[in-house]
Amino acid sequence: MPPLRLAVIGCGAIGSAVLRHLATEPSVRVAAVVLRDPASPTGGIARTLAPGAHVLARLDDAPAPVDLVLECAGHDALAAHVLPALARGVDCIVTSIGALGDAELARRLEQAGHDGGSQLELVSGAIGAIDALAAARLGGLERVTYVGRKPASAWQGTPAAALHALEDLDRPLCIFEGSAREAARLYPRNANVAATVSLAGLGLDRTQVQLYADPHAGGNVHELQAEGAFGSLVLTLRGQPLASNPKTSALTVYSALRAVLCLLYTSDAADEG
Protein backbone atom coordinates (compact mmCIF):
# COMPACT_ATOMS: atom_id res chain seq x y z
CA MET A 1 0.00 0.00 0.00
CA PRO A 2 1.28 3.50 -0.81
CA PRO A 3 1.71 5.78 2.22
CA LEU A 4 -1.14 8.00 3.33
CA ARG A 5 -0.69 11.51 1.93
CA LEU A 6 -1.28 13.87 4.83
CA ALA A 7 -1.64 17.64 4.96
CA VAL A 8 -0.94 19.25 8.34
CA ILE A 9 -2.46 22.65 9.01
CA GLY A 10 -0.15 24.58 11.33
CA CYS A 11 3.34 24.05 12.69
CA GLY A 12 3.08 25.51 16.16
CA ALA A 13 3.42 23.55 19.38
CA ILE A 14 1.03 20.76 18.32
CA GLY A 15 1.82 20.69 14.61
CA SER A 16 5.59 20.58 15.05
CA ALA A 17 5.32 17.78 17.64
CA VAL A 18 3.10 15.80 15.27
CA LEU A 19 5.60 16.25 12.43
CA ARG A 20 8.45 15.01 14.62
CA HIS A 21 6.57 11.81 15.44
CA LEU A 22 5.43 11.20 11.86
CA ALA A 23 9.01 11.47 10.57
CA THR A 24 9.52 7.86 11.70
CA GLU A 25 6.16 6.54 10.46
CA PRO A 26 6.68 4.98 6.99
CA SER A 27 2.96 4.52 6.37
CA VAL A 28 2.34 8.28 6.41
CA ARG A 29 3.88 10.84 4.08
CA VAL A 30 3.43 14.48 5.01
CA ALA A 31 2.71 15.92 1.59
CA ALA A 32 1.86 19.47 2.63
CA VAL A 33 2.14 21.82 5.59
CA VAL A 34 -0.18 24.82 5.47
CA LEU A 35 0.91 28.00 7.25
CA ARG A 36 -0.30 31.58 7.40
CA ASP A 37 3.13 32.71 6.17
CA PRO A 38 5.26 29.99 4.53
CA ALA A 39 8.22 32.41 4.38
CA SER A 40 8.28 32.89 8.16
CA PRO A 41 10.70 31.14 10.53
CA THR A 42 7.91 28.65 11.22
CA GLY A 43 8.05 27.75 7.55
CA GLY A 44 11.71 26.90 7.96
CA ILE A 45 10.87 24.65 10.91
CA ALA A 46 8.21 22.90 8.84
CA ARG A 47 10.68 22.25 6.00
CA THR A 48 13.18 20.79 8.43
CA LEU A 49 10.66 18.51 10.13
CA ALA A 50 8.95 17.43 6.89
CA PRO A 51 11.62 17.83 4.18
CA GLY A 52 9.49 16.25 1.47
CA ALA A 53 6.43 18.39 2.11
CA HIS A 54 5.24 21.45 0.21
CA VAL A 55 4.92 24.39 2.61
CA LEU A 56 1.96 26.47 1.43
CA ALA A 57 -0.41 29.24 2.42
CA ARG A 58 -3.40 27.41 0.95
CA LEU A 59 -4.02 23.72 0.53
CA ASP A 60 -5.54 24.48 -2.88
CA ASP A 61 -2.03 25.34 -4.06
CA ALA A 62 -0.70 21.82 -3.41
CA PRO A 63 0.56 20.26 -6.66
CA ALA A 64 -1.07 16.91 -5.85
CA PRO A 65 -4.17 15.86 -3.89
CA VAL A 66 -3.96 14.66 -0.30
CA ASP A 67 -5.84 11.84 1.40
CA LEU A 68 -6.32 13.44 4.81
CA VAL A 69 -6.07 16.84 6.51
CA LEU A 70 -5.01 17.25 10.15
CA GLU A 71 -5.78 20.66 11.67
CA CYS A 72 -3.38 21.84 14.41
CA ALA A 73 -3.55 25.60 13.87
CA GLY A 74 -6.35 27.08 15.98
CA HIS A 75 -9.93 28.12 15.47
CA ASP A 76 -9.49 30.29 12.37
CA ALA A 77 -8.06 27.34 10.44
CA LEU A 78 -11.41 25.54 10.33
CA ALA A 79 -13.08 28.17 8.16
CA ALA A 80 -9.94 28.90 6.14
CA HIS A 81 -8.78 25.35 5.38
CA VAL A 82 -10.95 22.57 6.81
CA LEU A 83 -14.18 23.85 5.30
CA PRO A 84 -12.91 23.89 1.67
CA ALA A 85 -11.15 20.53 2.14
CA LEU A 86 -14.38 18.87 3.29
CA ALA A 87 -16.24 20.40 0.36
CA ARG A 88 -13.64 18.85 -2.00
CA GLY A 89 -14.21 15.43 -0.47
CA VAL A 90 -11.11 15.24 1.76
CA ASP A 91 -11.58 13.80 5.26
CA CYS A 92 -10.34 16.04 8.06
CA ILE A 93 -9.23 15.60 11.68
CA VAL A 94 -9.64 18.61 13.94
CA THR A 95 -7.92 19.47 17.23
CA SER A 96 -9.44 22.94 17.72
CA ILE A 97 -12.80 21.66 18.96
CA GLY A 98 -13.64 24.95 20.66
CA ALA A 99 -14.23 26.53 17.23
CA LEU A 100 -17.47 24.56 17.05
CA GLY A 101 -18.86 26.89 19.70
CA ASP A 102 -19.69 29.02 16.65
CA ALA A 103 -23.02 27.47 15.64
CA GLU A 104 -22.89 28.90 12.12
CA LEU A 105 -19.41 27.48 11.50
CA ALA A 106 -20.54 24.08 12.80
CA ARG A 107 -23.48 24.17 10.40
CA ARG A 108 -21.24 25.09 7.45
CA LEU A 109 -18.79 22.29 8.27
CA GLU A 110 -21.62 19.78 8.40
CA GLN A 111 -22.96 21.00 5.07
CA ALA A 112 -19.50 20.90 3.47
CA GLY A 113 -19.01 17.31 4.58
CA HIS A 114 -22.42 16.38 3.22
CA ASP A 115 -21.75 18.08 -0.12
CA GLY A 116 -18.27 16.58 -0.47
CA GLY A 117 -19.09 13.13 0.89
CA SER A 118 -16.31 13.59 3.46
CA GLN A 119 -16.03 13.16 7.21
CA LEU A 120 -14.88 15.42 10.03
CA GLU A 121 -13.33 13.69 13.04
CA LEU A 122 -12.95 15.47 16.38
CA VAL A 123 -10.07 14.18 18.51
CA SER A 124 -10.56 13.68 22.25
CA GLY A 125 -7.41 15.72 22.86
CA ALA A 126 -6.35 16.20 26.47
CA ILE A 127 -9.34 14.46 28.09
CA GLY A 128 -10.45 10.84 28.46
CA ALA A 129 -13.76 9.01 28.99
CA ILE A 130 -15.38 10.70 25.99
CA ASP A 131 -16.74 7.37 24.74
CA ALA A 132 -18.34 6.72 28.14
CA LEU A 133 -19.85 10.19 28.21
CA ALA A 134 -21.33 9.79 24.72
CA ALA A 135 -22.80 6.43 25.72
CA ALA A 136 -24.23 7.95 28.90
CA ARG A 137 -26.03 10.55 26.82
CA LEU A 138 -27.96 7.75 25.15
CA GLY A 139 -28.78 6.20 28.52
CA GLY A 140 -29.92 9.40 30.21
CA LEU A 141 -27.50 12.19 31.05
CA GLU A 142 -28.64 14.90 33.45
CA ARG A 143 -25.62 16.88 34.57
CA VAL A 144 -22.07 17.42 33.25
CA THR A 145 -19.41 19.65 34.79
CA TYR A 146 -15.88 20.18 33.54
CA VAL A 147 -13.20 21.81 35.71
CA GLY A 148 -9.90 22.80 34.12
CA ARG A 149 -6.85 23.77 36.17
CA LYS A 150 -3.67 25.08 34.56
CA PRO A 151 -0.60 26.91 35.84
CA ALA A 152 -1.02 30.67 36.00
CA SER A 153 1.42 31.09 33.09
CA ALA A 154 -0.95 29.14 30.81
CA TRP A 155 -3.53 31.94 31.09
CA GLN A 156 -1.22 34.75 29.97
CA GLY A 157 -2.59 36.39 26.84
CA THR A 158 -6.20 35.57 27.79
CA PRO A 159 -8.96 37.76 29.29
CA ALA A 160 -7.90 36.51 32.73
CA ALA A 161 -4.54 38.27 32.41
CA ALA A 162 -6.30 41.61 31.98
CA LEU A 163 -8.38 41.07 35.11
CA HIS A 164 -5.91 39.47 37.51
CA ALA A 165 -2.22 39.69 38.43
CA LEU A 166 -1.60 36.06 37.51
CA GLU A 167 2.11 36.19 38.30
CA ASP A 168 1.30 37.10 41.91
CA LEU A 169 -1.13 34.27 42.66
CA ASP A 170 -0.43 32.17 45.73
CA ARG A 171 -3.63 30.10 45.62
CA PRO A 172 -6.00 28.74 42.93
CA LEU A 173 -8.20 31.40 41.33
CA CYS A 174 -11.42 30.68 39.43
CA ILE A 175 -11.10 32.83 36.33
CA PHE A 176 -14.25 31.60 34.59
CA GLU A 177 -17.53 29.93 35.48
CA GLY A 178 -20.30 29.46 32.95
CA SER A 179 -21.32 27.44 29.91
CA ALA A 180 -18.96 25.57 27.60
CA ARG A 181 -20.03 27.81 24.73
CA GLU A 182 -18.97 30.95 26.60
CA ALA A 183 -15.73 29.29 27.72
CA ALA A 184 -14.89 28.44 24.11
CA ARG A 185 -15.60 32.03 23.07
CA LEU A 186 -13.52 33.71 25.79
CA TYR A 187 -10.69 31.17 26.06
CA PRO A 188 -10.41 29.59 22.59
CA ARG A 189 -6.88 28.23 23.11
CA ASN A 190 -7.55 26.88 26.58
CA ALA A 191 -11.12 25.58 26.42
CA ASN A 192 -10.98 22.94 23.67
CA VAL A 193 -11.47 20.25 26.33
CA ALA A 194 -14.62 21.95 27.59
CA ALA A 195 -16.00 21.99 24.05
CA THR A 196 -15.07 18.33 23.51
CA VAL A 197 -16.83 17.30 26.72
CA SER A 198 -19.92 19.29 25.81
CA LEU A 199 -20.22 17.90 22.28
CA ALA A 200 -20.01 14.34 23.60
CA GLY A 201 -22.54 15.02 26.35
CA LEU A 202 -25.20 17.66 26.95
CA GLY A 203 -24.11 20.27 24.44
CA LEU A 204 -22.35 23.60 24.66
CA ASP A 205 -25.09 25.44 26.53
CA ARG A 206 -25.93 22.83 29.19
CA THR A 207 -22.37 21.81 30.09
CA GLN A 208 -21.05 23.74 33.09
CA VAL A 209 -17.40 24.84 33.09
CA GLN A 210 -15.02 26.18 35.70
CA LEU A 211 -11.52 27.29 34.77
CA TYR A 212 -8.78 27.86 37.36
CA ALA A 213 -5.39 29.53 37.30
CA ASP A 214 -3.52 27.43 39.84
CA PRO A 215 0.07 28.32 40.77
CA HIS A 216 0.45 24.87 42.36
CA ALA A 217 -0.98 22.81 39.49
CA GLY A 218 2.37 21.67 38.07
CA GLY A 219 0.58 20.66 34.87
CA ASN A 220 -2.82 20.71 33.21
CA VAL A 221 -5.51 19.08 35.36
CA HIS A 222 -8.84 18.09 33.83
CA GLU A 223 -11.78 17.03 36.01
CA LEU A 224 -14.98 15.61 34.57
CA GLN A 225 -18.14 14.86 36.52
CA ALA A 226 -21.33 13.46 35.02
CA GLU A 227 -24.56 12.11 36.48
CA GLY A 228 -27.73 10.60 35.05
CA ALA A 229 -29.85 7.51 34.70
CA PHE A 230 -26.71 5.59 33.67
CA GLY A 231 -25.09 6.25 37.08
CA SER A 232 -22.20 8.64 37.69
CA LEU A 233 -18.78 9.29 36.21
CA VAL A 234 -15.80 11.02 37.81
CA LEU A 235 -12.49 11.46 35.99
CA THR A 236 -9.34 13.35 36.96
CA LEU A 237 -6.55 13.51 34.41
CA ARG A 238 -3.25 15.20 35.21
CA GLY A 239 -1.52 15.90 31.93
CA GLN A 240 1.91 17.32 31.29
CA PRO A 241 1.85 20.49 29.19
CA LEU A 242 3.89 20.77 26.03
CA ALA A 243 7.23 22.33 26.84
CA SER A 244 6.78 24.79 23.98
CA ASN A 245 3.27 25.87 25.01
CA PRO A 246 1.87 25.54 28.56
CA LYS A 247 -1.65 26.15 27.25
CA THR A 248 -1.62 22.73 25.53
CA SER A 249 -1.46 19.25 27.05
CA ALA A 250 1.03 16.83 25.50
CA LEU A 251 -1.75 14.24 25.32
CA THR A 252 -3.37 16.35 22.59
CA VAL A 253 -0.46 15.52 20.29
CA TYR A 254 -0.79 11.78 20.93
CA SER A 255 -4.55 11.99 20.44
CA ALA A 256 -4.05 13.56 17.01
CA LEU A 257 -1.44 10.97 16.05
CA ARG A 258 -3.71 8.15 17.17
CA ALA A 259 -6.54 9.51 15.01
CA VAL A 260 -4.32 9.60 11.93
CA LEU A 261 -2.95 6.09 12.49
CA CYS A 262 -6.37 4.62 13.32
CA LEU A 263 -7.75 5.98 10.06
CA LEU A 264 -4.75 4.61 8.22
CA TYR A 265 -5.07 1.10 9.69
CA THR A 266 -8.84 1.08 9.19
CA SER A 267 -8.35 2.00 5.56
CA ASP A 268 -5.72 -0.72 5.12
CA ALA A 269 -8.02 -3.31 6.65
CA ALA A 270 -10.85 -2.30 4.36
CA ASP A 271 -8.59 -2.54 1.31
CA GLU A 272 -7.41 -6.00 2.34
CA GLY A 273 -10.99 -7.11 2.87
Would strands 28-34 and 54-56 be described as parallel, antiparallel, or unpaired? parallel
Q: How far is CA 158 from CA 35, 153, 161, 270, in A?
A: 23, 10, 6, 45
Distance CA 114, CA 120 (A): 10
Clarify whether 222 is annotated catalytic. yes
Distance CA 271, CA 261 (A): 15
E-strand ranges in 85-230 read: 91-94, 120-122, 141-150, 173-179, 208-213, 220-228
| The amino acid at 132 | A
Using H for helix, E for strand and C for coil, what is the string for 13-77? HHHHHHHHHHCCCCCEEEEEEECCCCCCHHHHHHHHHCCCCEEECCHHHCCCCCCEEEECCCCHH
Catalytic site residue from 54, 75, 81, 222: 222
Distance CA 77, CA 118 (A): 17
Catalytically active residues, by annotation: 222
